[in-house]
Structure 1
Amino acid sequence: CYRIERVVGEKDQFIAYVAYPLDLFEEGSVTNLFTSIVGNVFGFKALRALRLEDLRIPPAYIKTFQGPPHGIQVERDKLNKYGRPLLGCTIKPKLGLSAKNYGRAVYECLRGGLDFTKDDENVNSQPFMRWRDRFLFCTEALYKAQTETGEIKGHYLNATAGTCEEMMKRAIFARELGVPIVMHDYLTGGFTANTSLAHYCRDNGLLL
């Protein structure tokens, strides 16, 4: 801790500025970073209350992280769309449709002029729509819309799963189907799972 400031108007509240040596962190590990910064320290009994207000990560540490090809320019390149905003939507209703009807909704949106559609984060592999069926029907809809419009279309297939192994299985299947983009809910799926998926996407030309 290199500086402490009293919170204006508060008697027993302070802002503490803490600097950590980079050697305390494993390179490329979000998990280790947050374990050190927002993990153990919040369990100190000597602290009555603690809140993380801000976090500044030095460029030297940021450079140890890899990720998938990302950014709006890469997405434009994948979809071959330039000079205008991209137009997309999340399929609704997000839950309750069969895989076939879900795929039909994807087709109608893409055929109607959207550049891309995406799964809702809640859509994983429920009994009424298993993930493999959804992937197949959505891909069929994607290619059908592309053929009829002459444009490249996209659908963000949700690869989020209950285990890392299952998540990777879904991402690999999406790549085999030829879709350009997959998505993952990293807040619930976890930083380690998301980093693993990011590395796979980078190595295999998928957007994440």
Structure 2
Amino acid sequence: MRWRDRFLFCAEALYKAQAETGEIKGHYLNATAGTCEEMMKRAIFARELGVPIVMHDYLTGGFTANTSLAHYCRDNGLLLHIHRAMHAVIDRQKNHGIHFRVLAKALRMSGGDHIHSGTVVGKLEGEREITLGFVDLLRDDFIEKDRSRGIYFTQDWVSLPGVIPVASGGIHVWHMPALTEIFGMIPYYSSVEEL
């Protein structure tokens, strides 16, 4: 199915479900494309459909493309959900990779509203303290140096907006008590696609 047809199909299903239930529904329409121009066409079409959220794979799409999309979304009232396809190829290589902490900082500078960030439980398990460290780097305005959490220097983000970390990847409702205990309720939430 071509992207335009998929967007139309998803928007139709979204509005039908809202009409039937009286509840607000959402779907992340994937704007990731081979060129920045094509990506922007997809975001513009999503906005024309009235869909409130688009998604972008920021590692495969590229940082500058992501920044362009983030500016467009911010200027046009769209939420930008960030997916991190390909991250494991980059951040799980201990000898020559780039830790997700660095990728998270790059994303925060590039722009986005929320990102799949790992969970400590479920499929995207990671070291608890390190995961908490980069979750704080995403969402807090000021982070103190704490090597035990992978924070190697104090970081003051000043006025740069935060990014909401989204628990996702192989989790289900039985993981919610552990997620709540580890991260708290707000602003760390679970991706509805998982529940």
TM over 0.5: no
Larger relative contact order (Cα-Cα within 8 Å, sequence gap ≥ 6)? 1
Q: TM-score range by the shorter chain?
A: 0.3 to 0.5
Which has more radius of gyration?
1
Could you tell me the TM-score, scaled by structure 1's length? 0.41
